[in-house]
Chain A
Amino acid sequence: KAGVTQTPRYLIKTRGQQVTLSCSPISGHRSVSWYQQTPGQGLQFLFEYFSETQRNKGNFPGRFSGRQFSNSRSEMNVSTLELGDSALYLCASSLSSGAGSQYFGPGTRLTVL
């Protein structure tokens, strides 16, 4: 069974631009969560989607948004990029039985210059 895939793996953007990251969950998984990992703040929950609906959202500004498609693939978008948005963005998928059943992807490393 293929794992969670994230594209692209690495990305360099400049301040003010926007970026879209993609996550393909494990086949059959309907829940997709996004996390941001930075050296200063560690791993922080962004949002979780299930069946195309956002169920939970972390404490991030509105510049961070996401969506989920009918095939459970998910995208997250960050608009008006700031230097502090440089981070590893992790996606995790689950069959919808709680965080203990989540499988994480390898992440997308975003660098904002």
Chain B
Amino acid sequence: DQQVKQNSPSLSVQEGRISILNCDYTNSMFDYFLWYKKYPAEGPTFLISISSIKDKNEDGRFTVFLNKSAKHLSLHIVPSQPGDSAVYFCAATSGAGSYQLTFGKGTKLSVIP
């Protein structure tokens, strides 16, 4: 049973527009969520995180929104740039200090110049 789901395997967006990547989770024990970006032949790179005590966290062009009642989070990238083209993974865990992450299967974002 997949506890973290990214239902869109791929997403294409025009350069300069907003990219919205979605993630759903089922485990109520999850209280800390992270987004990672992965380029081919490289390991994932941490992008941004959010604790369940917040509903929004911003870092430059990246914003993560958390809707606890819907068990849904989203990553917004504004404006999207060609260098953002990568696979994005959503991950969840219990406790910000934990390393035992449960990942979604990823969404491949293509930003078209």
Contacts and interface: CB of A to CB of B under 8 A. Distances in A.
Interface stretch (B15-23, B36-44, B70-78): B36-44
A22 B95 CA distance: 28
Interface in A40-86: 42-45, 48, 55-56, 58
Contacts, number: 68
B102 A45 contact: yes
Interface residues of A, number: 26
A87 interface: no
Contacts of B103: 35, 42-44
Given A42-B104, A42-B105, A42-B106, A98 B43 contact: no
B91 A99 contact: yes
SS class, residues of chain B in contact with chain A: loop
Contact of B43 (A55, A99, A104): A104
Interface residues of B, number: 24
A98 B104 contact: no
A98 B106 contact: no
B97 interface: yes
Contacts of B105: 42
Interface of B: 32, 34, 41-46, 49, 89, 91, 93, 95-106
Interface of A: 4, 31, 33, 35, 42-45, 48, 55-56, 58, 90, 92, 94, 97-107
